[in-house]
Structure 1
Amino acid sequence: MAGNSKRRGAVRKAGTKKGAQVGSGGQGRKSLRGKGPTPKAEDRPYHPAAKRKASAERSAPRRSRPAGDRPYEVIGGRNSVLEALRADVPASTVYVATGVGGDERTAEIRRIIADRGIPLLEVTRTELDRLTDGGVHQGVGLQVPTYTYAEPADLLSTDAPGAPLIVALDSVTDPRNLGAALRSAGAFGAHGVLIPQRRSAGLTASAWKVSAGAAARVPVARATNLVRALGEYKKAGCFVVGLDGEAQTPVAELPLVHEPLVLVLGSEGKGLGRLVRETCDALVSIPISASMESLNAGTAIGIALYEVARQRSEG
């Protein structure tokens, strides 16, 4: 009934009336802020994808520091280790993986290090993977000091017989191609290999391995400026020849092959740089099938060195 003050809710209790509010004073500002984009599933701590990622990181082998940050290299592979020891390369430690099978190479490795007093450490395969930066080591690794490069002029003053024969690599950045070039240089009597200091592969453990020990016998020089070094070779009486797929002269007709010779090879993709090409006295090519665009650097320099060795041997 209207006016019945005893009806429940008819009379407001004192002190409960809400007055007008001027403002919140910024108290609700945080609730208006966005929380940003939703993180990826693998970045959310409680998501199954994040747990799988964390598990994979824990089980992955730890990577060693880059070779440039440490004063040594670890050569992996039985042939590479044995060739380095035969060439009396300074070595501080030999690593052998636990349970690795023995053969004639590992037996000779053990004999050599026993005679020289080089420590032998047995490690897990995981540890050897880390030491060799994940390379194929066949259960054997050899720790050697970081390679000491020769000076460009040193390649002309070696005691090797015959007219000087030098291989120069222009912007060859794959250490496997450097190793292959070293192997060919050792097989065909080259006096040394010249590489630029920048934009070039260095003599890392990977190059050591591919060279199959040739890196211990063939000196490698590093030039601050490759064009300038080639110019100095020319002043010293060398004939500088560049390998170029578009050259008209085939490598079999290589001129002045019995004179002091520098063979220059560029990268597989870009070939010789412009200034290097202009410095060359001649350009030669390796005839290949039209279905192939080019040869990799290691194969090309091997063919060219073989041709030089063949012509020189025939007089």
Structure 2
Amino acid sequence: MPEPDDGAPAPVGVGPWPGEPPDDPRYDPELLAHGDRRNVVDRYRYWTVDAIVADLDGRRPPDRRLHVAIENWAHDLNIGSVVRTANAFNVAGVHIVGRRRWNRRGAMVTDRYLHVHHHADAGALTDWAATAGPAGERLPIVGVDNVPGSVPLERRELPARCVLLFGQESSGLTPAAQAACDVVVHITQHGSTRSLNAGAAAAIAMHTWALQHA
């Protein structure tokens, strides 16, 4: 007879490796001995962080690479959520524009598996993007905000190699960030709210890119 359910949540992950541990440098001896409770897919159970990062890097085709940039002026709580989504879509890099320190709580330590870069302002991001392509070519910057002159995301073919740039939750893209963009797109809405949550908008934009190129 099964034991009664006491309402406690099931443990996340896996316990210690059963039997003889594998002789593979990708595996972490501490995790093998004590279990892996991290929020990672089964493919990466017991792997070291460095091994996971290397494998993720190798799974991005050179001709289809997405970068995500986020303006950080007001310690926006949504930045962590954007970073976590960026990990889910295996972006090539996350770029924090503005304040170097950002609220990592919502990232749920997924930033450990990403390449996170800092740029002092939109101009610095533009300078980086000018030669960031695989052969030193420029990466186009696509802003995401419902500002005058923006075009519907769902009607736009996104570049296979590009940077998606997001603004703050309350104020959106700054004028300097808008000026740095090759194009600004918006997500068409059908309700009464003026704008989407920044984290939700970022998830939709990344998924749109993935539908077209991943």
Is this a same-fold pair by TM over 0.5? yes
Deviation sequence 1:159-210 (CA, Å, 0-9, x none): 4413221110013645541221122212223112100252x65253x1343x
Q: Is the 8 A contact 1:223 1:229 kept in 2?
A: yes
State the TM-score, normalizing by the size of structure 1. 0.46
Alignment match of 1:111 (pick from 16, 34, 38):
16
Taking structure 1 as reference, are residues 103 and 111 closer, same or farther at Cα in structure 2, changes over 3 Å only? farther
Aligned length: 167
Letter in 1 for 2:211: R
Please report the TM-score for the alignment, with normalisation by the length of structure 2: 0.66
Shift of 1:115: 4.8
Show the counterpart of 1:223: 119
Q: Secondary structure at the match of 2:12?
A: helix
Percent of aligned pairs sharing the same letter? 24
Question: In 2 relative to 1, CA 215–117 (structure 1 residues): closer, same or farther, beyond 3 Å?
Answer: closer
Q: Identify if the C-alpha distance between structure 1 residues 117 and 273 changes in structure 2 by more than 3 Å, giving closer, same or farther.
A: closer
Q: Could you say which residue in structure 2 is the equivalent of 1:296?
A: 197
Using the alignment, how far apart are the partners of 2:98 and 2:86 within structure 1?
Answer: 20
Q: Report the equivalent of 2:85.
A: 184
Code of the aligned partner of 2:119: A
Paired residue for 2:142? 241
Shift of 1:290: 4.5
CA contact 1:178–1:201 (8 Å) conserved in 2 = no
AA at the equivalent of 1:264? L
- Matched-pair contact (CA < 8 Å) for 2:71–2:166: yes
Call closer, same or farther: CA 1:230–1:116 in 2, change over 3 Å: same
The 1:166/1:196 distance shift into structure 2, 3 A limit, reads same
1:202 aligns with 2:97: no
Q: Secondary structure at the match of 2:192?
A: coil
Who is 1:20 aligned against?
A: none
Q: Would you say the 8 A contact 1:168–1:263 is kept in 2?
A: yes
Unaligned ranges ≥5, structure 1? 1-100, 121-157
Q: How is 1:268-287 mapped onto 2 (pairs within 5 angstroms)?
A: 268-287=169-188
Identify the match of residue 66 of structure 2 among 152, 165, 171.
165
Report the Cα distance in structure 2 between the residues aligned to 1:172 and 1:225, rounded to whole angstroms: 10
Q: CA RMSD in A?
A: 3.0
Report how far residue 305 of structure 1 moved.
0.5
DSSP 3-state at the match of 1:193 = strand
Structure with higher Rg: it is 1
Q: CA deviation at 1:285?
A: 0.6
